[in-house]
Amino acid sequence: MIGRSTPVRVTLLALGAWLAVTLVSRIGFGIVSPVEVVFEGVTRFLGVPWVFNLIHAAPWDFDRYVKFIAFGVIVLAWLIVMWWVTRRLWIWRSAWGTFATLAAVVVIPLLLLGLGVLPLMGLGVFGTATLNRAWPPVPLFSASVAALLAWSSLVLMWPDRAARTDVSRRAWFNVMSRTVLGLALGASALSRAFIARAQALQGALFDAVRGISPAITPLGGHYVVSKNFVSPRVREGQWRLEIAGLVDTPLTLDLDALRALPSVTRPTTLMCVSNQVGGDLIGTYEWTGVRLADLLELTGIRHGASEIVLYGADNYTDSFPLDVGLRDGTIVAYLHNGESLTRDHGFPARVLVPGIYGMKNVKWVERIELAEDDHIGYWQARGWSDEAIIKTLSRIDMDQATRISEGRWAIGGVAFAGIRGIRSVEISIDGGDSWQDAVLEDARGPYAWSRWTAVLDEPTLLQGVIVMVRATDGTGDVQTEIVAPPLPDGASGYHRRLVTPSA
């Protein structure tokens, strides 16, 4: 049964198992894999935008497969080297000694990687500074150690080698199983401590930076935009929401009926299409309301419906495609930050639709109509974009840095890319020649902006320094530096600001 090709087979098996575990935990649980950490680091370290250009030129979502294939090749090479080394190892006559030798072969390269190579690349210990996730690499690196130990023991126990050692399979199994168990327990305790510490440090940093936007905009702090000189006053008792058009059973709700339906609460960032680079027509409230998908569940959707048209009490209309309306984040909201909507924000109810600009988030909404064809809304008739997909934005919130420790000063701001999310934020102090990673705070939810902070050292700052910021969205696309005005589909370009130390 066991022939010459066994080591190769065992190696491939171990590699396959390892990749399977990594893929399942990535796709199923969103746990960032060491594959991505290393890939991210290598590409960033080598500064090879062409790698990404190549990947993004592919017509399908090639990106993640390239990462896994590339990393698979690296792991395979490593396994082959280890197999070669273990074959030539001096095998002691005790299970522990043999085990220690093997463990060193496996663990030392991992420690070198985690404590040496990755920090040197600026990715933090075990890659903890990457991808906005401080902890997942730690348990996964530990799992990799365990998997590789298991593999190495298989190599050791293949017959022609076993024949030359006094270590019994049972002794070997005992040692190995105990170590793997210990490793797993230790790693989970370690990573829990790590999470707590990282969160505390991060929280303290964001609290310390003066002038940074709060993650949730306090009531009254949100921008207000409407076509009206004075906001319409809608009487609660007279207000009705009609859902009509291509539905099976049209529905009319008063405010009590809307409030009685199951609701959701979501931090959602709204941004006006006319927001300038660095502008403040952006804010994040926690909105509460009923999912539009749930409302359309009640009415049914007739064949042929492809567009949702909204009508406000101020003769305002706008529309978006049906599939955008059916997104989880699209709601008919009646509370912001736990309180009834103010008149300016659309009392008694308004629509929130993540991913597209503010104008599509119709306030004082009275009628939701399913239609067959696209509809030209109020602003579209005036030349503004109909698709209105939010462009990636990043903003520096202050022009005075906060001193956080001896010789170190911090600035910060927000970044937003609609439903694509923010993967990373970088700043440049040399006009864009080089970029340094900012610390990213976890967004409060998939529809909310992310806050960032970055540290500047004193000599840089003293004379005043022009800081530039750019973000990378959740799909890996870097914010465009091409300058565009707000009309017709939103401003773009990098925000820059002269920063000095605070008095």
Rule CB under 6 A: which residues touch ligand MTE? 222-228, 270, 272, 312, 314, 316, 345, 358-359, 361-364
- The least CB distance from residue 317 to ligand MTE, in Å, is 8
CB of 349 closer than 8 Å to CB of 255: yes
Number of other CB atoms surrounding residue 413 within 10 Å: 29
- The least CB distance from residue 75 to Mo ion, in Å, is 49
Helix, coil or strand: residue 35:
helix
- The least CB distance from residue 488 to Mo ion, in Å, is 12
Element (H, E) at 270: strand 264-271
**Residue (63 or 344) nearer to ligand MTE, CB:** 344
d(CA 252, CA 244): 9
d(CA 44, CA 40): 6
The answer to the question of residue 487 lying near Mo ion (CB under 5 A) is no
Q: Which residue is nearest to Mo ion (CB)?
A: 272
Contact mark string toward Mo ion, 271..290, x via CB under 5 A: -x------------------
**Residue (117 or 225) nearer to ligand MTE, CB:** 225
Q: Which stretch binds Mo ion (CB under 5 A): 230-238, 255-263, 264-272, 440-448?
A: 264-272
CB of 363 closer than 8 Å to CB of 334: no
Q: What angle do CA 18, 20, 25 make, to 5 degrees?
A: 100
Residues in the chain: 503
Q: Count residues binding Mo ion (CB under 5 A).
A: 4
- The least CB distance from residue 222 to ligand MTE, in Å, is 6
The answer to the question of residue 358 lying near Mo ion (CB under 5 A) is yes
Torsion angle of C-alpha atoms 330, 336, 338, 343, degrees rounded to 10: -130
Residue 363 binds which entry of Mo ion, ligand MTE, none, CB below 5-8 Å type-dependent: ligand MTE
Q: Which stretch binds Mo ion (CB under 5 A): 210-218, 242-250, 269-277, 309-317?
A: 269-277
Contact mark string toward Mo ion, 222..261, x via CB under 5 A: ---x------------------------------------
Cα 462 to the chain's mean position, in Å?
34
d(CA 302, CA 295): 14
HSE (side-chain half, CA atoms, 13 Å) at 301: 19
**Residue (147 or 388) nearer to ligand MTE, CB:** 388
Residue 364 binds which entry of Mo ion, ligand MTE, none, CB below 5-8 Å type-dependent: ligand MTE
- The least CB distance from residue 206 to ligand MTE, in Å, is 24
Helix, coil or strand: residue 346:
coil
**Residue (222 or 420) nearer to ligand MTE, CB:** 222
- The least CB distance from residue 67 to ligand MTE, in Å, is 38
Q: Give 205-242 as a 3 state SS string.
A: HHHHCCCCCCCCCCCCCCCCCCCCCCCCCCCCCCCCEE
- The least CB distance from residue 268 to ligand MTE, in Å, is 11
Distances (CA, A) of 405 to 57, 196, 197, 229, 401: 44, 22, 19, 48, 12
- The least CB distance from residue 243 to ligand MTE, in Å, is 17
HSE (side-chain half, CA atoms, 13 Å) at 305: 24
**Residue (292 or 359) nearer to ligand MTE, CB:** 359
- The least CB distance from residue 408 to ligand MTE, in Å, is 36
Q: Which residue reads 């920063």 in tokens? A: 499
Q: Which stretch binds Mo ion (CB under 5 A): 3-11, 136-144, 353-361, 388-396?
A: 353-361
**Residue (206 or 311) nearer to ligand MTE, CB:** 311
Residue 450 binds which entry of Mo ion, ligand MTE, none, CB below 5-8 Å type-dependent: none
Torsion angle of C-alpha atoms 33, 37, 38, 44, degrees rounded to 10: 150
- The least CB distance from residue 82 to ligand MTE, in Å, is 58
Close Cβ partners of 24 (under 8 Å, ≥ 6 residues apart): none
**Residue (202 or 342) nearer to ligand MTE, CB:** 342
The answer to the question of residue 484 lying near Mo ion (CB under 5 A) is no
Residues near Mo ion (CB under 5 A): 225, 272, 358-359
